[in-house]
Structures are given as C-alpha cells and as structure tokens.
A and B are shown apart, each in its own frame.
Chain A
Amino acid sequence: MDVGAIFQAAFALVVGLDPGFLGIVFLSLRVTLTAVLIAALIGLPLGAALALARFPGRAAIIVCLNALMGLPPVVAGLAVFLLLSRSGPLGPLGLLFTPTAMIIAQVILVLPIVIALTRQVIEDLWSEYRDHLRSVGLDGLRAIPTLLFDGRFALATALLAGFGRASAEVGAVLIVGGNIAGYTRTMTTAITLETSKGDLPLALGLGLVLLSLTLAINAIAFGASRIGARYAG
C-alpha cells in the first residue's frame, strides 16, 4: 500500500464510523475523562490547600509533585500493575486488565499535574487577594472556594493539560489494561499494536482522531484563557 492509499483507507474508517473503530475512541475518552474528573475532584482542593498551608516539609512536597509531573507512564503502569496483580495488595479486587485499572493508572499520571498547577495558580491569586479576603474574614482554608472560583479559567487550562497527558500516553494503559480487543484497547495501544502488525490505515485513522483531539484541547485552552483575560482585565 502506498501512503496515499493508506490515508484514503484511514479517512474511510473515520468518516464511515466503523463500530470497532468508534468503540476504541469511546473507550479512550471514557477512561481519560473519568481519570481527569477524579484527579480534579482530589487535586483542585488539595492543590489549593497546599498553596495556602505552611508546614515543615512543604517545599519537599512541592519539589516531588513537580518531579512527578514528568513521571514516565510505564513506571506509573508498573506501580499499578504491582498493586493490582494477583499477588499484590489489591489483587483480590480482580481489577487488573480492566478499564478501571487504566483509570487508576491515569489518575496517578494526571493528579500531580493538577495539584502542582493548581498550587501555582492559587498561590499567585492568594498573594493578590490576601489583604481583601482576610479583611472580610476569609482566612486560611475558608479562602479556598473563592480562590478556586476566581482561578477557574487558569484551572481549566491545568485540567486540559492533565487531559492531554492522559489521552496521549500509552505505557500505563498498555501495562495495566493489557490491550484486550473490545475491552481495554484504547487509541494509543491500538496504534502501537496495529502499526507493528502492519494495519496502517487503522493506526493512521486513530492517529488522526488523536491529533484532532489534541487540536480541540488546545483550542479550548486558548478560548478559556481568552475569556479569562476578559474577566481579568
């Protein structure tokens, strides 16, 4: 097959809404969106608390979180694999090679990003708002809801950064999901497999969807910061 024919076949897959193809796309989105949602629920308040709290060891935690933003996905995958494997501490739950396992692994990848970026955003906002919020009696943890709300546009960008990392990674979902067709096969694991098998149209079609997704994320991030700039003056 020449490159032109491969592209043609790939487009046919995308446009033709092939059920197997769509299943892979939807599973990827389900896993990644769930992981980002969970990471947001945990990471936003935790990052804000970290921004406001002062305690010994805080600097070390911030350095570790920043380092974890670059955690190799295969290492995260390996850690979750060890946890969930039959002989591991959570083995009896029988979660290995399920979408749930993939969600857990991606939460671990996304959470440091959400916490670290939230910490930064909220700390900057707090230094600007501190006098007024303390003046009206919102000190310490009581200031967090206000800060999270007022940082909403910057925080949306942080969540999209997390989404971008999770949707693009292959190592973690491959190790804990097992790339089982129709069950734990995501866009990235499918591209890896199909490319090595030689089914280039499928790999390329999925690659196109992934690319469009990345493009959409960046467009949304740009839009959010523009709307934010309107409110930020």
Chain B
Amino acid sequence: MHRERTRNEYEKENEWQPAAARRCPVNIPLLSLLIFTPWVGALLLFVLRRRLSASLGRILPILFSLSTLILGGIVLARFNPVITGMQFTEKHAWITALNVHYHIGLDGLSLVLVLLTGIISPLALFGPTRQVRCPAIHGALFLLLQGSALGVFLALDFFPWFVFWELSLVPAFFLIKLWGGPGAARAAYQFVIYTIGGSAFMLLGFAAIFAETRTFDFLELKLISMGGQAPILFGGAATTWVFLGVLLGLAVKVPLFPFHAWLPPAYAEAPTGTSMFLTSVMSKMGAYGFLRILWPLFPLQFHAAAPILLWLALGGVVLSAFAAMKQTDLKRMVAYSSINHLSYCLLAMCAVATAGPVNPAFPAVMIGTSESGIAALSGTILQLFNHGLSAAALFFCVGVLESRTGGLRGLGDFGGVRTAAPVFAGLCGIALFSSLGLPGLNGFIGEFLIFRGVFGLAPWVAAVATLGLLATALFLLTFWQRVFHGPATGAGVNFRDLDATEIATLGPLIVLMFVLGIFPQLLAGLINPLVTTWAATLP
C-alpha cells in the first residue's frame, strides 16, 4: 500500500520530464557525452601512445579534458534552477536480472560539481605537466579519472554510481604511484586500500537494501524511505548496520575524522596535477555521497547519528587545523587544510541533521531552524566549490615551488621569494587569503554561511569551530610570511617568477575567486531552490 503510493509520487515528480525534453530541441544525451568524452579520449591516447609526439601527447588530453567545461557550459545554459528534481535524465535498462538501470541525471548540486570538474581538470593537465614522463599515458589515466568522477556526480542508480566510484581508484592509484614523489608507493597503497575497505561495506549495505527493496535507484529508494518504510526496512538494528556501512564508505572518502589517515600522504606524494584533481574534485565525491545518498535514504539514522558525527566533524575542523600548523612540509600543510575545509561541510550537514525535525509532518517545528538550515546547506555546496578553487590553486603554487627547486617544499627552505618573484607572490597570496576566508574572495561566503547556519543550530559547536578558523589563519599566514617575506634566503634567492603557462593556469582560478567573492549569487542562484526544498523535506 505504502509502496504503491510512493511509486505514484515518483511518477508525479517526473512529470516535468517531457517539458525538459521540449526545451532541448535535439535529444542529445548530453550527460552521457559529458561522462564518456574523457573516456573516449583516454582510449584514443592509450591506443596512439607510441605514435603521438610529445607535444601532441600533452595537448590532446587537455583538449579532451576541456570537453567537460564546454558541455558543462551547454548544460548550464539549458539548466532550469527552479526545478528541484533531476534534469537531463537518461534511463536505460542495463542488468534486468538485478533491476539495474543506467540512470543519470543532474540537479543543482551535480551541476556545481560538474562545473568544478570542468574548470579544474584542464588546468591540472595544462599547468604542472610540462615535464611529465610519458605524457600520453599520464593524460589517458587522468582522463579516465575525470570521466569516473563525472560519472559519480551524475549517476542516479547505485550500481553505475558504484562502478564509477571504484573505477576512479584505479587511475588515481597509478597516477600517484608512477608519477608521485619518493613515498608514493606506500601512499598509493594506503589510499586505495583505505577507500576500498570503506566502500566494500557500502557495497554490502546496498546489497542488503537491494535484497529488501529490489531496486538500486536513488530516487525510488528516497521515495521509499520518505514514505516511512526505511526505518522498518530490515527491522531496527539491521537498518542501523546498513546505515553504518554506507556511512563508513563515504566517511573514508570525505574524509571524516578519524578516517583521514590516508589523505595527507596521498595528497603530498601525488604529482601536482593529480593533487589538484584529488583535492578539488575527488574529495567532493564523499561529501556529494552524503547529500545524495546517505541523507535522503537514511534520514532517521542520520538524525540519530548526527550528534556524534557533529563532534567528529568538529574534531576534524579543529584538529586538522592544528595538525596543519605543525607541518613543515608545505604540501602536507595544504592537505591538512583540505581536511579542515571539508570538515566544515560535514559540520554544517550534521548540524542541520541534528537540529532538523525528524518528521516532515510537523512543519511548525521547522520554522525556527529552516533559515539556519538553508544557510548551512547553501554554505556547504558553496564551500565545496570554493574549496575546489582555492585548494587547487594552493597545490599548484606548492608545485611551482617544487619544480623550481628540484622538489624542495619545506616551510624553512624558502624565504623572501616575493622580492624575486612578485607576480607569483601576489597570486599565491590571493589563493592563501581565499583559502582562509577573507571577505571579498570566494572562500568567505561559504564559510560565513556555514557558521551562520551552524550558529543558529548548535551555537557551542560553532563557537569551538572558530578555533579552527583561528588556526587556519595562523598556518596560512605562516606559509605566506615564511616563504614570501623577509630577506631572500635558501631556495628563495633568485627565484624565477611565473612564466606565461603558469600565469595562464593560476589566472582563471584567481579571477574566479574574485568573481565569486563579489557575486556569490552566480553560484548560489543555481542551488537556492534545491537547498530550500532540502531544508523543508530532508531533515
């Protein structure tokens, strides 16, 4: 009875589909193109790897990588932010025996992340890979990674989603291992085994869900759980176990403190371009999973677990900031600051889930919290995007330091770089200030909204989290001061300034930091209606 009703609701929610089709004159499978163009490029590069000259082997991956930005732009132009359901959906039967569909679609959240992928990937291939060994193979692996990440952001059925999710590890493993620093072997192993160890339990959780519901479709599962059946799906205790399995898979990926141990070595040992992609795109996969899967499918369990998770996220915010202060390796410092920034997102989500009313049947309780909820959730999505920009820029700057000095990246190895390289110092400084959340730059708006939301929901937590802000400011300013200021010492003497390629890599990121800092509405407009619906229905 319940299930019948939810199916009907599901059909009703999808009634907009014909309208969307009408707006799109020729029915091109835009999202499939988005996912598979990089893969086609990867295949092409792999097949032709012997015949390509070095420069062509470097340029082709960049061109294929740009396809995401172009197609993402087309999607953006046709995207209707008022619709909160999925748009551009494609659904085809895949494995009938298991009721698996190739089902992809996009809403504001996915769109933001697709655009981020489109911006970061070509830059990560363009800037730091001039001296890379075997550019064609490197490019092929990178494109494989890029396509997998896009698949994760667009898939709406657990099965293809999980395929993309796991598949992204294979190229990442080889990129870290083959092109990484001296400790890359160990770091790559840790990265892959941690992540697979977590996602294995997620797989188990979904196998259990499937055994009960006979479907993998996120939208159908969401309706089932909102119809009130999720809590009784397997009987109380079993649902909790399923929830914990899925949570573990996502928590390792984000990472949620204390599952973060794989991250600093992986980011630090990866080559610069891969670090940029890992931190700005792949780290978003976990947070995306929280919003797309964990919360809609397990609202009650998430609500129940949220107080504990809130404290863990708070631990991530504060401890990772203090850990970053202690680092002498600049790349590890930026890696810890990444944990810190993503922990803000988790903090916001958990705060909303803690405070939110469990039962949508009592909207009265929500009025007090919904504004804070909306602020916190918008802040989360903006933070995801903004952290992508600033962390990629910072990793690139550390990469520049490394490439000039044959791999030096210690905090004490440099001094007074600004005198020799004013352009570099200026651009890197902007990235640092964006990362620590200076008003007027993009980092501010996300963090402000998160704090504004969390303060309304869990004031004490917000108060403690400001310690993290303080520590972030301290270590980023230490970075800025020790490397760029003072008398030129160490490797900072006669430091060569940025050349045209490097400026062209850093430039777009810096411009976007200003644009989004001054007009955050550009991005927020895409997600506002979505977040408002979430705040009304999700918690």
Tell whether A pairs with B: no
Residues of B near any A CB (own CB < 8 A): none
Binding site for B on A (CB under 8 A): none
